[in-house]
Amino acid sequence: MEQIAERYRRRAGEFERRVAAVAVGDWARPSPCERWTARDVVAHVVDMHRVMLGPVNRDFERGADLLATFRAARSAVEAVLDDPEVAAQQVETPAGSLTVAEHVDQVVSDDLVLHGWDLARATGQDETMDPDDVQRLWRSTTSVPADVMAKYHTPGAFGPGIEVFGPEVAVPADAPLQDRLLGLIGRDPSVRR
């Protein structure tokens, strides 16, 4: 669990730096996520933190300041990961029964990396993902069974309005792994909005 907590902290720190670097006029810029602005990307990440905290009856203060709200969400998740008893609780998820820590690791922690790229692309920041995160996400994503991957690419398969991945984007086989990962989850690394 210590590795999960450390991975989350590192990824949340990078995401927070990107949120802090968004210029006031850039919040309304379109993101690579269809119909989402930069503001929507951060709001989604905050919402997913709330989803992770719900099964253990934890919450955080939410306000108009997205940076402050993300910091509150991050702090609440870190408190859960720092409590071995809470982090080890079993919760039911769409992927089956997981510990709270595993659920955080497989969902919101991974989201910080992927949506960090979305935010960086939308706001003109450095889009480079940590190479270890790219490797880890590539392995986990490519190991998903084909029937489950098809659901990930199907809007509404996990409930009304829920989209896990966009349609897969063809990326050259010799492209950098980060670009291939982005294509696999429905992002076109060659398109700038």
- In this predicted model, what pLDDT tens digit does every residue of 143-187 receive, in sequence order? 988 988 888 888 877 777 777 888 899 999 999 999 999 999 999
Distance (Å) of CA 26 to CA 42, 113, 122, 123, 124: 12, 20, 8, 6, 9
CATH number, domain 1-112: 1.20.120.450
The helix (run of H) or strand (run of E) holding residue 193 is none
User: How many Å is the maximal CA-CA distance in the chain?
Assistant: 46
In which band, very low, low, confident or very high, does the pLDDT at 22 lie, cut at 50, 70 and 90? very high
3-state secondary structure of 131: helix
The predicted pLDDT at position 193 comes to 59
The predicted pLDDT at position 147 comes to 87
Burial (CB count <10 Å: 0-12, 13-18, 19+), residue 159: exposed
- In this predicted model, what pLDDT tens digit does every residue of 75-102 receive, in sequence order? 999 999 999 999 999 999 877 899 999 9
Q: What is the DSSP letter of 128?
A: P
Distance (Å) of CA 176 to CA 17, 123, 138, 181: 24, 22, 12, 9
Residue with tokens 């949506």: 115
* pTM, full prediction: 0.94
Domain ranges of the chain: 1-112, 128-193
Residue with tokens 């003109």: 124
